[in-house]
Amino acid sequence: MAENKRPETMARINTPALARAFIDEQIAALRAQIGDKKVLLALSGGVDSSVVAALLIRAVGQQLTCVHVNHGLLRKGEPEQVIEVFRNRMNANLIYVDAVDRFLDKLAGVSDPETKRKIIGAEFIRVFEEEARKLKGIEFLAQGTIYPDILESDGVKAHHNVGGLPEDLQFELVEPVKFLYKDEVRVVGKELGLPDSMVYRQPFPGPGLGVRCVGAITRDRLEALRESDAILREEFAKNGLQGKVWQYFTIVPDFKSTGIVDGKRTFEWFVVIRAVNSVDATSATVEEIPYPLLHHIVERITREVKGVNRVLYDLSPKPVATIEWE
Ligand code: XMP
C-alpha cells in the first residue's frame, strides 16, 4: 500500500533540529486530522506509545484520553512512571486501570506459553474495549505503530494490538510515527522531553513478565521475578551497562532446588540472569557480565528476594536458545 511506504525524500531523523521539525509537522498534521474530535490511546509506557502520547498532548491536549492498563505483568515502577510522566508532568487525561487481579485470575493454572500469550492479548483487548465503551464521542484511535512493524508484519504490532475491537467500536487510526525507525522515535522522544529511562528503554515483550514467570504464574513467584529484575536493572544502570546491553532481565522457572540458610535446609526457586546483544532479535549473543558485578548481583538477589536460594547465568546464544524462556 502506497500510504504505508515511507516517503523516499524523508530525511533520517538523527539530530534535535530534525526532531523539532518532525514534531512541528506532526502537530499540524494531527490537528488537521483530528480537528475538535476526541482520540483514544492505549499507553503501555513503552517508547513508541509514549512518543505518540506526547505528540498528541502537544497537538490536541485534553481531546486525548490515554488508557494505561496494568495487567500485573509490568516491571517494578512502570505504572507509577506512566502516571508521573503523563498525568502529573504533562497534564494528560489518563485513565489508569488496575486489572491485576483480573489477569492473574485468568492466568491461574495455565502453563502453556502460547495459551498464556493468548489470554493476555485477549484480556487486554477486553479491558480496553470496556474503557472505550465508557467514553463517549471518541472517533480516533492512536497507535504507536513504527516502520519496522509495517515492514515486518501487516502493520499491527503485538503489544499495541487493539485491532481486535468489535465492529461497533471501529475508530479512524492515528499513527504519527508509522514511518519512523526505532532510533528516530528515540530522538523525537528525547526532544519531546520524555525521561531517558523511557526513551532508551530496552525491548519489553507485550505479555511482559508473564513469559518470564515460566510455567503457571503464581503471585509469589511473579513478585520474586519483579524484584530480581529490578535489582538487575539497578545494578546495570549503576555500572554503565544500561543503554549498552540490548536486553537484560531475569527469569523465574517453576522449579525449586535445595539451599541452606543459617544451618537449615531450604527448598526454593532459582533466578536466571539473561543479558544479550542483538540487532534485530533474530539472533543474539550473550553479554559477558564482569564477574565481580555478577557476584554482587547474585549476593543481592539471594539476600533481598523472598523465596529464592540460587541464581544462574544463561550463557546460551540465539540460536540455539531464544531470548525469552517461553
Ligand atoms: P525470542 O524469545 O523469540 O524474542 O528470541 C525475540 C524478541 O521478541 C521479544 N518477544 C516478544 N515481544 N510479544 C512481544 O511483543 C511477545 O509475545 C514476545 N515474545 C518475545 C523478546 O523480548 C525479544 O526482544
pLDDT digits 0-9 by tens, 247-292: 999 999 999 999 999 999 999 999 999 999 999 899 999 999 999 9
With H, G, I as helix, E, B as strand and everything else as coil, classify residue 308.
strand
**E strands along the chain, which residues?**
38-42, 64-70, 93-98, 138-142, 172-174, 247-251, 256-261, 264-277, 285-286, 308-313
159 lines ligand 1 (CB under 6 A): yes
- Average pLDDT rounded to a whole number, residues 110-114: 98
Average pLDDT for the chain: 95
Share of the chain above pLDDT 90, in %: 92
Q: Whose CA is nearest to atom 4 of ligand 1?
A: 323
Q: Whose CA is nearest to atom 12 of ligand 1?
A: 205
pTM (predicted TM-score) = 0.94
The tens digit of pLDDT for each residue in 221-239 reads 999 999 999 999 999 999 9
Q: In this structure, which amino acid lies at residue 236?
A: F
Domains of the chain: 2-199 (3.40.50.620), 212-313 (3.30.300.10)
46 lines ligand 1 (CB under 6 A): no
Q: Whose CA is nearest to atom 21 of ligand 1?
A: 205
The tens digit of pLDDT for each residue in 81-106 reads 999 999 999 999 999 999 999 999 99
The tens digit of pLDDT for each residue in 116-156 reads 999 999 999 999 999 999 999 999 999 999 999 999 875 44
Q: How do 264-277 and 285-286 pair as beta strands?
A: antiparallel
Cα(283)–Cα(277) distance, integer angstroms: 9
HSE toward the beta carbon, residue 8, CA cutoff 13 A:
1
The pLDDT score that the predictor gives to residue 162 is: 67
- The partner residues of 140 in beta bridges, in order of sequence, read 39, 172
The C-alpha cell at 262 is 543459617
The pLDDT score that the predictor gives to residue 89 is: 97
- The partner residues of 124 in beta bridges, in order of sequence, read none
The pLDDT score that the predictor gives to residue 68 is: 98
Q: Whose CA is nearest to atom 22 of ligand 1?
A: 205
113 lines ligand 1 (CB under 6 A): no
Q: Whose CA is nearest to atom 20 of ligand 1?
A: 205
Give 282 Cα–ligand 1 centroid separation in angstroms. Answer: 10
The pLDDT score that the predictor gives to residue 146 is: 96
- Average pLDDT rounded to a whole number, residues 106-112: 98
The tens digit of pLDDT for each residue in 299-324 reads 999 999 999 999 999 999 999 999 99
- Average pLDDT rounded to a whole number, residues 30-45: 98
pLDDT band (50, 70, 90) for residue 3 = confident
- Nearest atom (ligand 1) to Cα of 278: 24
Q: How do 256-261 and 264-277 pair as beta strands?
A: antiparallel
The pLDDT score that the predictor gives to residue 154 is: 56
- Nearest atom (ligand 1) to Cα of 117: 17
208 lines ligand 1 (CB under 6 A): no
The pLDDT score that the predictor gives to residue 158 is: 46
205 lines ligand 1 (CB under 6 A): yes
Answer yes or no: are the C-beta atoms of 269 and 307 closer than 8 Å. yes
